[in-house]
Each structure stands twice: as C-alpha cells, then as structure tokens.
C-alpha cells in the first residue's frame, strides 16, 4: 500500500514541479509588464490630479498601487511559493 501511495505522490511531484516552473516564468514576465504599466498609470494619475480631476487621479493612483510589485504580483508570488513548497513536501514524502 505504501508503494502505491508513493507512486501516486510521484505523479503529483511531476505535475506540481511542471506547474511551478510554468507559473514562475509567467510571474516573472507579468511582473515586468505590470511594473512598466504601473509607472504609466501612476504618471497619468498624477497628471489628472494636477489638472484638477481629483476622483479620477486618486482612482488611477489606487490602480497603479494594485498592479505595482506590492499588489497583485506579490499575491501571485506567494501562491507560486506555496506550489513550490507543496512539490518539495511531496518529494520529501517519496524519499523519506
């Protein structure tokens, strides 16, 4: 029975390792794109504040903060880290 569980866990290791690699690459690319987009949106928000459109400027600055590296990309990085930890836990189960 233990061999069957280890065999199933090895399939899980392969799947989680592949997902981890794909998600890590996508997170890297998306982080770069969202970082540049965040700067553009922040500049537009400041320009709106200067021209007198207060609600629009504040909305743009909030959106810029959400897509900057401290917003959604950080949440995605935590999720990818959790996936990597799961893969390592399954690998430790198989080896131990």
Tens digits of residue pLDDT in 43-95: 999 999 999 889 999 999 999 988 888 888 888 889 899 988 888 888 888 88
Full-model pTM: 0.71
pLDDT at 96 over 80: no
* Those residues with Cβ within 8 angstroms of residue 49's Cβ, 6 or more apart along the chain or in another chain: 57, 58, 61
Q: How many domains does the chain have?
A: 1
What pLDDT does 72 receive? 82
The range of the structural domain enclosing residue 63 comes to: 2-95
- Torsion angle, CA of 56/61/66/67, rounded to 10 degrees? 100
DSSP state, residue 68: S
pLDDT tens-place string over residues 22-37: 989 998 898 889 889 9
């Amino acid at each position: 029975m233990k061999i069957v569980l280890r065999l199933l866990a090895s399939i899980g290791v392969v799947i989680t390792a592949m997902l981890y690699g794909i998600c890590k690459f996508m997170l890297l690319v998306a982080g770069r794109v969202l970082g540049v987009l965040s700067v553009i949106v922040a500049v537009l928000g400041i320009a709106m504040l200067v021209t007198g459109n207060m609600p629009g400027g504040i909305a743009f600055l909030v959106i810029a903060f959400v897509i900057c590296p401290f917003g959604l990309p950080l949440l995605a990085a935590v999720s990818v880290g959790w996936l990597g930890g799961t893969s390592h836990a399954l690998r430790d189960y198989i080896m131990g």
